[in-house]
Structure 1
Amino acid sequence: MSKSHIMFVDDEVKVLEGLQRMLRPYRKEWDMTFTESGYKAMELLETTPVDVLVTDIRMPGMSGSELLAAVKERYPRIVRIVLSGHSDLECIVQSVLPAHQYLSKPCKPEVLKDVIEQALRVAHLVEDDTLRALISNMDALPVLPKLYQEISAELSKDEPSLETVAEIIGKDVGMSAEVLKLVNSSFFGFARHIGSVRQAVTMLGVNIIQSLVLTVHVFSVFDTEKSPFISFKGLWEHSIRTSNLARRICTADKCDRELADNACIAGMLHDIGKLVLVSTCSEQYNEVLRTSREKNRRVWDVEKEILGTTHAEVGAYLMGLWGMPDSVIEAIAFHHAPISPLSSYRPLTAVHVANVLDHKHCVIHENYVVPDMDMDYLGNIGVADHLPEWERTTKDYLEDLEDGGEQDSAG
Structure 2
Amino acid sequence: MNRAETGESKETGPLKILFIDPHSAFVTWGSGLVQEGCNWEIVRNDDQRVALELLRQTAFDAVIVGAISSFEREIGILKQVSQIKPKVARILLSPPLSSTKLAKALDVVHRTIFQGASIEEIIASVEQTVLVTRQLYRDKVVRSFGAFRQLPSSPSIYRELSNALSSERTNTRDIAIIVERDPALAVRIIRLVNSSYFGLNRTISSLTEALTLLGVRTVRGLALSGHLNAHYPDDSGWKLFSFDRMNQRALSVARLAQEIATPFAKNNPALKDQAFLAGLLLDVGMLMLAAEQGEGYLKVLRFAARKKQPLHLVERMAYGVTHAELGAYLLDMWNLSPQVVEAVMMHHNPEESVGQTFNALCAVHIADALLPTIDNELGVDLSATLSEEYIERMDVKAHMPTWKMAANAYRIRMRDSERSESA
Q: TM-score, normalised by structure 1?
A: 0.54
Task: State whether residues 23 and 109 of structure 1, in contact with CA within 8 Å, keep that contact through their aligned partners in structure 2.
Answer: no
Distance 2:154 2:365 in 1: 23
Q: 1:278 to 1:368 in 2, by over 3 A?
A: closer
1:107-118 equivalences under 5 Å are: 108-118=76-86
Partner in structure 2 of residue 388 of structure 1:
401
Aligned to 1:351, which of 341, 350, 364? 364
For the Cα contact (< 8 Å) 2:283–2:324, is it kept in 1? yes
Distance 1:115 1:200, change over 3 A: farther
Q: CA deviation at 1:137?
A: 6.6
Secondary structure of 2:372's match?
helix
Between the aligned residues of both structures, percent identity stands at 24
Alignment pair present for 1:226 and 2:252: no
Residue 343 of structure 1: SS of its match in structure 2?
coil
Judge which range, 339-348 or 323-332, deviates more.
Answer: 339-348
**Contact 1:266–1:347 (8 Å) recurs in 2:** yes
CA-CA distance at 1:138 after TM superposition: 1.9
Match of 1:133 in 2: 146
371-380 or 160-169, which deviates more: 160-169
The alpha carbon displacement at 1:249 in A equals: 1.4
Structure 2 residue 234 is matched with structure 1 residue 235: no
Which is further off, 161-170 or 287-296?
Answer: 161-170
> Is the contact made by 2:343 and 2:361 (CA closer than 8 Å) also made in structure 1?
yes
**Cα distance 1:269–1:380, how it changes in 2: closer, same or farther (>3 A)?**
same
Partners of 1:141 and 1:219 within 8 A in 2: no
Alignment equivalent of 2:56, drawn from 26, 30, 33: 30
Q: Which residue of 1 aligns with 2:282?
A: 270
**Structure 1: 5+ residue runs without aligned partners?**
2-20, 33-106, 143-154, 171-193, 205-211
Deviation at 1:220, TM superposition (A): 3.1
Could you give the per-residue CA deviations for residues 327-380 of structure 1, whole angstroms, max 9, x where no partner exists?
A: 1011101101113522110000110000000137x6555632464211221111
Quote the residue 2:334 is aligned against.
Answer: 322
2:337 & 2:406 partners in 1: Cα distance? Answer: 26
Distance in 2 (alpha carbons) for counterparts of 1:337 and 1:259: 20
Structure-1 separation of matches of 2:366 and 2:239? 29
Give the C-alpha shift of residue 301 in structure 1.
1.1
Who is 1:188 aligned against? none
* Partner residue in 2 for 1:337: 349
Instruction: Provide the C-alpha distance between the structure 2 equivalents of 1:389 and 1:218, rounded to a whole number of angstroms.
Output: 32
Alignment partner, residue 164 of structure 1? 187
1:271 partner letter:
D
SS in 1 for 2:392: helix
Aligned residue runs from structure 1 range 170-319, under 5 A: 195-197=217-219, 219-220=230-231, 222=233, 224=235, 226-251=237-262, 256-319=268-331
Deviation at 1:402, TM superposition (A): 4.2
Cα distance in 2 for residues equivalent to 1:263 and 1:390? 15
Against the structure 1 CA distance between its residues 318 and 119, is the aligned structure 2 distance closer, same or farther, given a 3 Å change threshold? farther
Amino acid at match of 1:245: L
Q: Which amino acid aligns with 1:350?
A: A
Cα deviation, 1:253-285, whole Å, max 9, x if unaligned, reads 565431011000000111111122233433432
CA distance in structure 2 between the partners assigned to 1:326 and 1:159 by the alignment: 27
SS in 2 for 1:359: coil
Classify the secondary structure of the residue corresponding to 2:144.
helix
Corresponding letter in the other structure for 1:383:
V
Contact 1:141 1:220 in 2 (8 A): no
CA contact (8 A) 2:365 2:384 kept: no
- 8 Å CA contact 2:265–2:272 kept in 1: the answer is no
Q: What letter corresponds to residue 294 of structure 1 in structure 2?
A: R
User: 1:387 and 1:310 mapped to 2: Cα distance?
Assistant: 28
**1:122-157 C-alpha deviation (Å, 9 max, x unpaired):** 574352354131359724499xxxxxxxxxxxx9x9
C-alpha separation in 2, matches of 1:336 and 1:398:
20
Query: Unpaired segments of 5 or more residues in structure 2?
Result: 1-10, 12-46, 59-74, 90-132, 156-177, 194-215
Distance 1:25-1:344 versus aligned 2 partners, 3 A rule:
same
1:84 alignment partner in structure 2: none
Taking structure 1 as reference, are residues 120 and 349 closer, same or farther at Cα in structure 2, changes over 3 Å only? same
- C-alpha distance 280-342 of structure 1, shift in aligned 2 (>3 A): farther
Cα RMSD of the aligned pairs, angstroms, is 4.2
Structure 1: which amino acid aligns with 2:261? C
- Contact kept, 8 Å, 1:119 with 1:323, in 2: the verdict is no
The residue type paired with residue 256 of structure 2 is L
Which residue pairs with 2:63 in the alignment? none
Shift of 1:298: 1.5
- Relative to structure 1, is the Cα distance of residues 160 and 352 closer, same or farther in structure 2, using a 3 angstrom cutoff? closer
Give yes or no for the alignment of 1:372 onto 2:372. no
CA contact (8 A) 1:263 1:351 kept: yes
Larger CA deviation: 311-320 vs 158-167? 158-167
Partner Cα separation in structure 1 for residue 245 and residue 367 of structure 2 = 16
Q: State the shift of 1:116 in Å.
A: 4.8
Q: Deviations over 1:28-86 (max 9, x none)?
A: 32249xxxxxxxxxxxxxxxxxxxxxxxxxxxxxxxxxxxxxxxxxxxxxxxxxxxxxx
Q: TM-score, normalised by structure 2?
A: 0.53
For 2:217 and 2:148, how far apart are their aligned partners in 1? 24
